Chain A
Amino acid sequence: MTPLATHRKYCTFHVAGRFLGIEIERVQEVVRAQPFTEVPLAASAVRGLINLRGQVVPALELRHCLGMEARAADVLPMNVVVRVDDRAISLLVDEVGDVLEVPETAFEHTPHTLEPGERELFSGLYKLEDRLLLILDTDRAVAAGFSGAGADAAVKEIP
């Protein structure tokens, strides 16, 4: 790393074996698992509503937004609360990692080897020493979650 290179900070987390990051300035806070109030008829990525200190915040299952398989029922998700158009939205992830600082010059565009539906939801990636850090396009991921795009069916399954 040259000292001149500008660095960017990412809040990192794990979802279904992938290592993902969101620009730190988009992340409002990280909260442990919260009780949900389910929203009938909503897209299946909408896991429910959580009470974030008096604010009602929708929680989106990120695995679902990305078209990945569901999390094991006994694993509690973490809430990564992001800001989208002045709204607070919680993204449910498996595990939260450290805040990483990476040089901007190392940024690469998303390779074509990813699934097309998935590729759209990432803005790019960083090749770290031992692994890839995929950068989530937060706005698109949230929009996909609410619209029921990706792996989602039009009607919510009844549990």
Chain B
Amino acid sequence: MDDEVLSEFLIESNEMLDQMERELLASEGRHASPDAVRSIFRAIHTIKGTCGFLGLKNLQAMSHVAEDLLSDLRDGVAAFTPDVSQILLAVLDASRRALSDIEAGGEEGPADFSGLIARIAAVQAQSRAEVAPAGSGAPAPSPEEQALTHEEFVAVAKKAAAAAASASATAPSAPASIPPPLAAPPSPPPPAAAVDNLPVMRLTPVESEPPPAREAHEAPQAGATIRIGVPLLDKLMTQVGEMVLVRNQMMQHARRIDDGPFAATMQRLNALTTELQGSVMKVRMQPIDGALSKLPRIVRDLALETGKQARMVIEGADTELDKTILEAVRDPLLHLVRNAVDHGLEMPGDRIALGKPPEGRLTVRAFHEGGQVNIEISDDGRGLGLDRIRQKGVERGLLPADYAARASEQEIIGLMFIPGFSTAEKITSVSGRGVGLDVVKGNIEKIGGTVEVSTRAGEGTTFKVKIPLTLAIIPALVVRAAGQRFAIPQASLLEVLHLEGSRLRREVESIHEAQVYRLRGALLPLLHLRAVLGLPAAVDSDPSSPSPMNVLVLQTDGRKFGLVIDDLDDTYEIVVKPLDAGLKNLTVFSGSTIMGDGRIALILDVAGIAQRAHVFSQELRAGRGAAAPAAQKPKTTLLILEARDRGRMAMPLSLVARLEEMPSRYIERIGGQEVVQYRGQIMPLIRIFSMLHERRSPERVASDSLRPGPRADPDFIQVVVHRVGELFVGLVVERIVDVVEDALEVRRPPARRGVLFSAVIGGRVIELLDIADLVRRSNVLATLDTRASEPS
């Protein structure tokens, strides 16, 4: 068989089947429009014809029988029942399977579809029976108008059964009775021979029906489009990118040449190149329909499986975006839509009870906005169970219990994106396995996109996905470190900080050897790009006055960190070139680009850098920075403290607003309560270690006090500032040791009050402080409340 003809056939047939699927799903459960039926008929008819031409006997036989059913539907002698829609979807699936067999092996698979053919015939008989009794050649009446006596019904049913049996018996040899497809006249074809054998009443075709407008509809398209391979497109893109660079270089030369006509020519070349670049970019754009067209079917099948009713509406299917992005959003969208049906929509009965239509509505809306593609997936279901997520978050230790009630809606929603978080009560084939939204978010962020969620209890949930139009050319900030240039995608850049002088000394501090910066009250871990990449460290000429620091505030996976670089260059639109396969293991780079001077700059992968450097983790401190495989367990970032007995304690960093070192003389007393003035408030102090049960023997306490710890400077106190609502509470600790990230897997029950549990972190047993309990027992909030009401 001619490969080219075959591959054309495969592409064309698959497109027709896609079209057929859309029509079927659109008309399901409703009266199918004549146009829809004609369109489905044409798809099957064309497949049948080409099958005959290519000698694909089995598929031809099956499509023949299906065509016959469609011919009845088109002619109004059979009714479009749910069974019809079901069987046509089965035909569709079988055809797709056959096509993929053919694609894989170049030949038809062994399946001969005899069972399916029998079922088609049976459905045909039934659907004719729906129409038959009223029939006398007039257009098919609606079911309401049908008067079917019991006797008639039984007779028709019997005939139908007989038809099914006879079809089943003759089906395997069916190809013999089929007329040669090429000899078959174009639409509308006459009823096929096999149908005449069926002992069912027939109506004559309605003569007035207009012929299908096939030629008229398709002819103009035939010459207007061509198919080209993706490699050629990529090559074109590369060449245009190169041309842009050459143009840039020529522009630089042109400035030095004082020649009017030459300058004008250069101007023209410049404009043309820009236009050409735009056109090539446009060639790569495809309607998002490519990623959406499969969704209605998936929704339908999933609804059936879960016993729900769902209707899908797609808006803006013609919104265009770059091919590579289209591929990248396909799976995340599928996941969100599945989630919406499985979690979002209620059962039909529940919906009715709530006064909603039994059929849930799923809307996927795509549109361009602000140079980005927006895709919204909304359902009109129950909304997110925020309380359940909150409760689950507390159970899982992701949300401090005392904070849970005050956590904002967005914070609660954020929990859903933590790996392994699932509230599904039972595991279905689609959701509840604990893999999901985190992967969706990760995949979207990988292409520079974002996911936002909004929900209203009882009214539904909307996932808003924003993705860039293209990945091939992205805006990036070019920075320098150790004399090299690196590009950072703007999508992950939040802000740029320039720190010097007192601000540098005051706001950047080292917790052990890891640096953190206090960015508006929150702790931002700092990484040095030179250190991350193993480049030589910068040397300060004068250690007493550190040189200014340029910090990029970057975001990945919902977390922020600061990246210290030597210098900023500028922002550019860069053409992304993938790295060679031999360098793919370097996850700190996502690609490379060619700069205006022809030199190459590497593009930094923000997620890869955070992962490699283990932001917060001990790896960085040890200077090894070995890129360990990312653990999938959810991790908690902890502040490690040293207690008086040299034991280690920890608290989640999320509970820490700031770290302060204060002169002891600032401490004042109100009643029995130690307080300091802090940021316009009176901040109560809690000596948390005094509240814990002393485990040491009195002798040990005495001897420990004789050899103070490394930073037990009596003139200063170390304060961990904790926030309770709008109020600050200072937790006085002996020493702040480190910030680490750990999955907290090994847990043991607490040995004393004020401790949640103990865990092994970095080979040491560490007690996790129950901050809520300590704050409550210290009674500082009560003190604070009374004081707050007093005039100051």
> Do the two chains bind?
yes
Which chain A residues have a beta carbon within 8 Å of chain B's beta carbons? 35, 37-42, 46, 49-51, 53-58, 85, 87, 89, 142-143, 145-146, 155-156, 158
Please classify how large the interface on chain B is, using the bins under 10, 10 to 19, 20 to 34, 35 or more. 20 to 34
Residues 207 to 251 of chain B near chain A (Cβ within 8 Å): 238-239, 241-242, 245
How far is it, in angstroms, between the C-alpha of A96 and the C-alpha of B241 when the chains are bound? 31
Which of A38, A50, A56, A89 makes the CB contact (< 8 A) with B582? A89
Q: Is the CB of B588 within 8 A of A39?
A: no
The closest CB in chain A to the CB of B575 belongs to: A54
Residue B34, interface by CB 8 Å? no
Q: Is the CB of A156 within 8 A of B534?
A: yes
Q: Is the CB of A158 within 8 A of B536?
A: yes
Q: Is the CB of A142 within 8 A of B535?
A: no
Q: Is the CB of A54 within 8 A of B242?
A: yes
Q: Is the CB of A158 within 8 A of B534?
A: yes
Q: Is the CB of B594 within 8 A of A56?
A: yes
Residue B533, interface by CB 8 Å? yes
Q: Is the CB of A39 within 8 A of B583?
A: yes
Query: CB-CB < 8 A to A39: which residues of B?
Result: 583, 586, 589, 602
**6 residue pairs bridging A and B, Cβ less than 8 Å apart:** A50-B600, A54-B245, A55-B577, A58-B583, A156-B534, A158-B534
Query: CB-CB < 8 A to A145: which residues of B?
Result: 582
Query: CB-CB < 8 A to B582: which residues of A?
Result: 46, 58, 87, 89, 142-143, 145-146
Residue B257, interface by CB 8 Å? no
Q: Is the CB of B588 within 8 A of A41?
A: yes
Q: Is the CB of B598 within 8 A of A51?
A: yes
- Interface contacts beyond A38-B484, A56-B580: sample of 15 additional A-B pairs, CB < 8 Å, sorted by A: A37-B600, A40-B588, A41-B534, A42-B586, A50-B600, A51-B600, A54-B241, A55-B238, A56-B592, A56-B594, A58-B580, A58-B583, A87-B580, A89-B582, A143-B582
Given contacts A42-B586, A85-B581, A158-B536, contact A37 B242 (CB under 8 A): no
Q: Would you give the shortest CB distance from B341 to chain A, in whole angstroms?
A: 41
Q: Is the CB of B534 within 8 A of A155?
A: yes
How far is it, in angstroms, between the C-alpha of A46 and the C-alpha of B586 when the chains are bound? 12
How far is it, in angstroms, between the C-alpha of A90 and the C-alpha of B392 when the chains are bound? 55
Query: CB-CB < 8 A to B242: which residues of A?
Result: 53-54
Residue B653, interface by CB 8 Å? no
Residue B200, interface by CB 8 Å? no
Query: CB-CB < 8 A to A41: which residues of B?
Result: 533-534, 586, 588
How far is it, in angstroms, between the C-alpha of A19 and the C-alpha of B594 when the chains are bound? 34
Query: CB-CB < 8 A to B588: which residues of A?
Result: 40-41
Q: Is the CB of A40 within 8 A of B581?
A: no
Q: Is the CB of A42 within 8 A of B238?
A: no
Residues 475 to 518 of chain B near chain A (Cβ within 8 Å): 484
The closest CB in chain A to the CB of B240 belongs to: A54
How far is it, in angstroms, between the C-alpha of A53 and the C-alpha of B512 when the chains are bound? 48
Residue B389, interface by CB 8 Å? no
Which of B484, B536, B600 makes the CB contact (< 8 A) with A56? B600
How far is it, in angstroms, between the C-alpha of A38 and the C-alpha of B577 when the chains are bound? 16
Residue B453, interface by CB 8 Å? no
Residue B707, interface by CB 8 Å? no
How far is it, in angstroms, between the C-alpha of A51 and the C-alpha of B238 when the chains are bound? 12
Residue B695, interface by CB 8 Å? no
Q: Is the CB of B484 within 8 A of A49?
A: no
Residue B404, interface by CB 8 Å? no
Query: CB-CB < 8 A to A54: which residues of B?
Result: 238-239, 241-242, 245, 594
The closest CB in chain B to the CB of A142 belongs to: B582
**Which 8 residue pairs are nearest across A and B when measured between Cβ atoms?**
A54-B242, A146-B582, A40-B533, A37-B600, A56-B577, A58-B580, A49-B600, A56-B592
How far is it, in angstroms, between the C-alpha of A127 and the C-alpha of B81 when the chains are bound? 82
How far is it, in angstroms, between the C-alpha of A58 and the C-alpha of B582 when the chains are bound? 9
Q: Would you give the shortest CB distance from B591 to chain A, in whole angstroms?
A: 9
Query: CB-CB < 8 A to B533: which residues of A?
Result: 40-41
Residue B439, interface by CB 8 Å? no
Given contacts A155-B534, A156-B534, contact A89 B238 (CB under 8 A): no
Q: Is the CB of A40 within 8 A of B592?
A: no
Residue B426, interface by CB 8 Å? no
Residue B474, interface by CB 8 Å? no
How far is it, in angstroms, between the C-alpha of A21 and the C-alpha of B684 when the chains are bound? 79
